Amino acid sequence: MEYKNQKVVIIDYGMGNIGSIDNMLKYLGVKAIISSEPNIISDADKIILPGVGHFDRAMTNIENLGLMDVLKEMALVKKKPFLGICLGMQIMCESSEEGSLPGLSFINAEVKKFDFGTDSKLKVPHMGWNKIHVNKASDILEGLDDDSRFYFVHSYFVKCQNEIDILTKTTYGFDFVSSFQVDNLIGAQFHPEKSHRFGVTLFKNFLEKY
């Protein structure tokens, strides 16, 4: 199927950053559907789960909107291509130090807080442009390499339990997981929608190759 004819649904659960993702997809010729309706989501060819804000609030919103079951069905049963961005990536994990609620548990991973101590020159949140270091080959990374730069804004990072799940790492004080992939499930800690040509490449790969 020509990717411009696919039904790409951006999940609207009240946690922001939808407009810039929608604009990026429009630039690539895709008219995305922004929705919080389970019946619309269940008919999607691809799912994008954005997010900016607090982990527990995100999980509460998903629960209150009745989205838990349909997200799990699309991700784990129907195995639709599923891209989580920033907080969207983090809630795909099992838990977070930011809150007490369980995550979606799509990935065997936890979310940890950056803590460099008061003497460190490293600021939290980690904010700005940084490079990715490719950990394994993937179609989502075609045309990208260790010189590719993405835009980050986050105070928490994902810690995968399985090294094989890690797609890329990024260095900020230490190497942390900047993206993961398990089959159809992809998470990006950075914001590809704000990362210019590198983000365009990643989104185009997601649309064309999955």
10 Å Cβ neighbour count for 122? 11
Max Cα-Cα span within the chain = 54
Q: How far apart are CA 124 and CA 107, in angstroms?
A: 25
Catalytic choice (110, 126, 191, 208): 191
Contact 10, 26 (CB under 8 A): no
What is the model's pTM? 0.97
- Helix pair angle (196-209, 18-27), 10° resolution: 70
Residue 198, CB half-sphere, CA atoms under 13 Å: how many? 19
Catalytic choice (86, 93, 98, 154): 86
The residue with tokens 């129907």 is 78
160 belongs to the catalytic site: no
Going along the chain from its start, the domains and CATH numbers come out as 3-209 (3.40.50.880)
133 belongs to the catalytic site: no
Residue pLDDT tens, the chain, 210 long? 577 889 999 999 999 889 999 999 999 999 999 999 999 999 999 999 999 999 999 999 999 999 999 999 999 999 999 999 999 999 999 999 999 999 999 999 999 999 998 878 999 999 999 999 999 999 999 999 999 999 999 999 999 999 999 999 999 999 999 999 999 999 999 999 999 999 999 999 999 999
DSSP string for residues in 102-151: -----SSEEEEE----TT-S--SSEEEEEE-EE-S--GGGTT--TT-EEE
Catalytic choice (97, 193, 196, 208): 193
| Token pair listed for 163 | 């090294």
